[in-house]
Chains A and B, each alone.
Chain A
Amino acid sequence: MSWNPRTLMGEAVANVRSSAVRSAILFTALAVALGSLAYLEVHQASDLLAFESSFQSAGGYVSIVSAQGGVSAGRCEGLNRVPGVVAAGAERAEGQATFTSAPGVLYQEYGITTGLARVWATSSSVGNLPPTPGFFAGTALASELAVRGGLMLAREGESPLPLLAILDVSERAPQADRSLLEVVPPTGNADECWVEFTPQAFPGGSGALAAAFAGGNGTPSVRAYISPDQFSRNPANELAARPQRNGWAIVALLVAGIFVLVAWLRRAELGLYLALGTSRVTLATMLAMESWILVAAGWLTGVLWALAIQRATGHALTLGSIRLATVTSGSAALAVLVLAPMLSVLVARGSIANLLKDR
């Protein structure tokens, strides 16, 4: 026979409620420690995530492969099936042509493979391009020509093809914004292969690109789409190196230490539980239940305070940063839940009679 689980939970609740000062101290310590950790995360991560987002939008994780005799468009398309590659596609510049829809005005024409269109899929107005015969126009060109999707365009001496859509590629590829783009099958050689990686896969993936195109026409060379001087910082590295990424463990140890100190002050009480027949496992369970109540309340309050301060000071509050703040402070909270009862029950080790004397 031992404690009824529901009664034990009630006992933990009663202990938390009856010792208001002790509970208030622990709650405040938890809210401040976990809240500070959450605030550090939400504050720093918001900036870093915003920076990473703009870095990614500008093509920070895009590498371009070129070679003297061109690169294989098929091999470039094949990279779409490689893990860590967001999209890959080849570009082939066809030179200039005259269009009947805009007599007297010359525009650069490009042929692109479908994969490259997917490189641009991070822009909301682009989407996946279907390999349908037809043209796409950049927004600048469409504006100058006063054309819209659905019109028919024909190159001199060729049959007219539909203008499938107007693409906003101004951010990722400003030079294409004044171009007419045509989706073509990935055959033959292209001028360049554009490959976008996930932030994590970018350093390794970019380094392996030259080997992927080896054996073709000429030695392949790889360059980053964004030149290094444009972004001297690397947001992925900064996110990985932020101190609070591992700081949760220190916070957890500190807070668990406060729980242990409180348990040490309660050792006569813990001794009474043991003397009257509570096992050490049951005692640890009860202490875990008490911790659970306080940690849940302190963590929730701390995170809400952190978000409120971030917002009140006029800083950005993104979903990504809220997630990071919740996960990091939540890791600390979980560690406290495990450590605090385990260490607290160690305080009550040894002779029960001695514990009862410690008043």
Chain B
Amino acid sequence: MSLSLRDVVHCYRSGGVPVLRGVSLTVQVGESVAIVGPSGSGKTTLLTILGLLTKPTAGVVLIDGKTLPPSGAELSRLRAERFGWIFQTANALPRRSVLDNAAFGLLVQGWRRDAARQRAREALGAVGVGHLAAQEARNLSGGELQRVCTARALAARPSFILADEPTGQLDHATSVQVIAALLHNRPYKTAVVIATHDTEVARECDRILRVVDGELQEGLG
């Protein structure tokens, strides 16, 4: 299984300066890829295009070598089955329990709530927040919430996990724990793409790609 971009260009305004210029990239299942670059370089945009949340201005996204289906329902199905997300600002349902948040990706896939909660509990334990399962998400610290979102992505066992600054709000010890869960202790074969400022995190990945002036370069530079 693979996820590819071919000659992707993206502008936020028609006729504006492109954030990404002819980016091509392939991510194979099982590998981990770090995307580094300064703020505003287009890391998050690249990630949202990879995760089918943003339609590129030009170029194509391929999953297993196939172009994306035109129907919105099919795209939603792909998002549910193939992708797990850890966003920069921890996007969770604030008034719902930690357990419900962690089970969310499974519910979208059609799981029954009880079964989804059971799997979510395991994922919460793997990132060290199992004891918070009954808490409301809004009562958690930023770091704890980021770990809940990591558990949400892990629990759904997608083909690709896309993480936007997953350790940005974490202290060093917690950061190590999350990265270990995400990269080293994966209980299944998945690809992880991490957009990060943290070179230490980047070095944990199989490959490092740098966004420079809207183009991708190999290595930290």
B112 touches A279 (CB 8 A): no
Chain A residues with Cβ under 8 A from B87's Cβ?
356
Chain A residues with Cβ under 8 A from B83's Cβ?
277
For A5, give the chain B residue with the smallest CB separation.
Answer: B110
Minimum C-beta distance from A273 to chain B (A)? 8
Q: Which of A7, A276, A280, A359 contacts B72 (CB 8 A)?
A: A280
Encode contact with B along A1-30: 1 for CB under 8 Å, 0 otherwise: 111101100110011001100000000000
Complex interface residues of chain B between 108 and 160 (CB less than 8 A to chain A) = 108-113, 116, 136
B48 contacts A by Cβ under 8 Å: yes
Minimum C-beta distance from A1 to chain B (A)? 4
B100 touches A14 (CB 8 A): yes
B111 touches A4 (CB 8 A): yes
- Bound: A19/B51 CA distance, A: 29
Q: Which of A11, A273, A353, A359 contacts B48 (CB 8 A)?
A: A353
**Highest count of chain A CB atoms <10 Å: which of B100, B107, B111:** B107
Minimum C-beta distance from A139 to chain B (A)? 71
Chain A residues with Cβ under 8 A from B96's Cβ?
14-15, 18
Complex interface residues of chain B between 48 and 96 (CB less than 8 A to chain A) = 48, 51, 53-55, 72-73, 76-81, 83, 85, 87, 89, 91-93, 95-96
- Bound: A271/B91 CA distance, A: 9
Chain B residues with Cβ under 8 A from A11's Cβ?
107
A276 touches B112 (CB 8 A): no
Chain A residues with Cβ under 8 A from B85's Cβ?
275-276
**Highest count of chain B CB atoms <10 Å: which of A3, A277, A282:** A277
Chain A residues with Cβ under 8 A from B79's Cβ?
274-277
Minimum C-beta distance from B97 to chain A (A)? 8
Known contacts: A1-B81, A2-B80, A14-B100. The answer to whether A276 contacts B105 by CB under 8 A is yes
A7 touches B107 (CB 8 A): yes
A272 touches B91 (CB 8 A): yes
For B85, give the chain A residue with the smallest CB separation.
Answer: A275
Minimum C-beta distance from A269 to chain B (A)? 6
Minimum C-beta distance from A8 to chain B (A)? 8
A327 contacts B by Cβ under 8 Å: no
Chain B residues with Cβ under 8 A from A273's Cβ?
108
Using a Cβ–Cβ cut-off of 8 Å, how many residues does chain A contribute to the interface with B? 31
For A357, give the chain B residue with the smallest CB separation.
Answer: B89
A2 touches B110 (CB 8 A): yes
B113 touches A2 (CB 8 A): no
Q: Which of B44, B45, B72, B91 contacts A279 (CB 8 A)?
A: B72
B93 touches A272 (CB 8 A): yes
A260 contacts B by Cβ under 8 Å: no
Q: Which of A1, A4, A14, A281 contacts B112 (CB 8 A)?
A: A4
For A2, give the chain B residue with the smallest CB separation.
Answer: B110
Known contacts: A272-B91, A353-B53. The answer to whether A7 contacts B112 by CB under 8 A is yes
A2 touches B77 (CB 8 A): yes
B76 touches A274 (CB 8 A): yes
Chain A residues with Cβ under 8 A from B107's Cβ?
3-4, 7, 11
Q: Which of B55, B91, B95, B136 contacts A356 (CB 8 A)?
A: B91
For A11, give the chain B residue with the smallest CB separation.
Answer: B107
Chain A residues with Cβ under 8 A from B93's Cβ?
18, 269, 272
Complex interface residues of chain A between 320 and 359 (CB less than 8 A to chain B) = 351-353, 356, 359
B76 touches A279 (CB 8 A): yes
- Bound: A356/B79 CA distance, A: 15
A276 touches B80 (CB 8 A): yes
Minimum C-beta distance from A4 to chain B (A)? 5
Minimum C-beta distance from A12 to chain B (A)? 12
Known contacts: A14-B100, A351-B53, A353-B54. The answer to whether A277 contacts B77 by CB under 8 A is yes
**Further contacts, 9 of them, CB under 8 A, given A2-B77, A282-B76:** A4-B112, A7-B110, A14-B100, A272-B91, A273-B108, A276-B105, A276-B108, A280-B76, A351-B54
Those 5 A-B pairs whose CB atoms lie nearest each other, nearest first: A277-B80, A279-B76, A277-B79, A18-B95, A353-B48
